[in-house]
């Protein structure tokens, strides 16, 4: 039986709302955020619920009074009488997501603090001064920055230009007919999800997730590799180059290759990071409670996301063009950036971070095209010669006089003598070797 996979896009529609509807929409969002804050407080006082498989049921038992549960610890209906059940459950889910993200960040902070204290203990034992741990714990979230998603019981589509949304009148909730400036059309093969009401500087918008249901016959890789005509796309993610891709078969023969340069993106990101570092040096102290250099950090974040989307799309298009059924990456979870200046270190750090995002984006885009994605161990993928199979690859660069200098752009084998090969290309061939050792032998 083929599996069903959902692929989500979001369509945004401008709304035509009279002044009274805009007031009701604002009141609805305000009360919804109050409910989210209410449940955030519940989760903070009962942290054993966070992450529990029955978190929704447990939260409702604490707050929602019924015949079977007349003595709820937090009588929600006293604070918010006649609040729709669908919106309440939406608020619980929103609060739980925020609380879960906070707890994950807090646990990571505790682990960093523990390791820092261990290092300090070793420093003291060696007669050195301890280093103060300056990282602050993550603050518990608030409910003032979320928007309302309508579940199935709280909205109705009238036609392609009108939707009925439950809104708060100041006393109770009632359906309000809202007009869309653009027609709402679900493309063939898609299904509409729960719409979200959002206020933008240009006015109110309705964000509707559109889920494409694709039928994918995801056979196991062990079955795919039995096909002698199978093509595999091997991807080596690098620092100077975003990716080097090769198309190979199960025998290791190379049919095509493509390089995706990262020079411009890395240069632009480093410029942003240098500006941030310079601002930090000028100010000396980052004001407590403020996000330092917010615009610059937003540019870095947007650039990284754009890189991941562009590169993942190129990888999938390249694999599809050559008929590859499998895309193979290597595990890069244990890699860490080298020491250096702060901007250089951060640039490398973000490079490693983008690599993981490229893999995740490639995975869901590849599924959309019916292509399987997997990873293989990174051990020796760049050290093993793809021609003689020995672990004798050495990296270098060429100076102006043609002599070898320190660097990592080129590779040579000290065993079979092959030389002046692109080192990332060798890495891609090494990933192919690791894949065949794991699945084809």
CATH at 324? 3.30.420.10
Domain that holds residue 275: 229-439
138 and 253, same domain (yes or no): no
201 and 313, same domain (yes or no): no
67 CA to centre of own chain: 43
Residue 224 lies in a domain: no
The angle, 0 to 180 degrees and rounded to 10, between the axes of the packed helices 55-63 and 85-125 is 110
Residue 361 lies in a domain: yes
pLDDT at 182: 93
207 and 173, same domain (yes or no): yes
For 1, other C-beta atoms within 10 Å of its C-beta total: 5
* Model pLDDT for residues 220-256, shown as the tens digit of each residue: 788 888 888 999 999 998 878 899 999 999 998 999 9
**How many independent structural domains does the chain possess?**
2
pLDDT at 143: 85
387 and 434, same domain (yes or no): yes
CA distances from 189 to 9, 183, 209, 369 (A): 13, 18, 14, 14
* Model pLDDT for residues 365-377, shown as the tens digit of each residue: 888 788 889 999 8
197 and 262, same domain (yes or no): no
pLDDT at 290: 44
Flag residues of the chain having pLDDT under 50.
1-5, 287-290
Please say whether the beta carbons of 295 and 302 come within 8 A: no
């Amino acid at each position: 039986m083929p599996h069903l996979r959902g692929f989500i896009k979001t369509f945004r529609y401008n709304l035509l709302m009279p002044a009274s509807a805009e007031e009701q929409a604002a009141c609805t969002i305000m009360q919804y955020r109050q409910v989210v804050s209410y449940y955030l407080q519940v989760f903070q006082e009962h942290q054993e619920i966070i992450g529990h498989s029955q978190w929704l049921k447990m939260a409702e038992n604490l707050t929602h009074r019924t015949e079977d549960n007349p003595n709820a610890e937090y009588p929600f209906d006293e604070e918010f009488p006649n609040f729709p059940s669908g919106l309440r459950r939406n608020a619980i889910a929103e609060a739980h997501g925020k609380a879960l993200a906070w707890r994950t960040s807090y646990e990571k902070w505790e682990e960093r603090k523990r390791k820092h204290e261990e290092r300090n203990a070793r420093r003291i034992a060696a007669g050195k001064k301890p280093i103060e741990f300056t990282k602050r714990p993550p603050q518990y979230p608030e409910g003032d920055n979320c928007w309302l998603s309508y579940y199935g019981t709280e909205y109705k589509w009238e036609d392609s230009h009108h939707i009925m949304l439950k809104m708060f009148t100041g006393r109770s909730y009632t359906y309000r007919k809202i007009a869309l400036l653009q027609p709402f059309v679900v493309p063939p093969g898609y299904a509409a999800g729960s719409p979200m009401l959002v206020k933008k500087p240009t006015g109110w918008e309705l964000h509707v997730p559109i889920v494409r249901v694709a039928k994918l016959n995801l056979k196991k890789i062990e079955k795919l590799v039995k096909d002698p005509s199978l093509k595999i796309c091997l991807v080596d993610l690098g620092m100077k180059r975003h990716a080097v891709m090769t198309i190979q078969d199960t025998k290791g023969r190379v049919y095509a290759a493509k390089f995706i340069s990262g020079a411009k993106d890395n240069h632009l990101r480093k410029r942003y990071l240098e500006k941030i570092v310079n601002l930090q040096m000028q100010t000396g102290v980052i004001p407590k409670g403020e996000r330092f250099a917010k615009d610059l950090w937003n540019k870095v974040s947007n650039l990284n996301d754009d890189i991941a989307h562009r590169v993942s799309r190129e990888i999938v298009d390249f694999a599809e063009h050559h008929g590859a059924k499998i895309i193979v990456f290597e595990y890069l979870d244990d890699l860490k950036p080298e020491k250096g200046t702060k901007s250089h270190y951060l640039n490398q750090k973000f490079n490693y971070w983008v690599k993981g995002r490229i893999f995740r984006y490639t995975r869901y885009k590849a599924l959309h095209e019916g292509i399987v994605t997997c990873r293989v161990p990174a051990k020796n993928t760049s050290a093993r010669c793809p021609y003689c199979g020995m672990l004798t690859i050495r990296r270098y660069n060429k100076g102006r006089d043609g002599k070898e200098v320190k660097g990592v752009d080129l590779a040579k084998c000290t065993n079979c003598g092959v030389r002046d090969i692109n080192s990332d290309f060798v890495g891609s061939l090494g990933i192919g070797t690791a894949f065949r050792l794991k699945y084809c032998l």
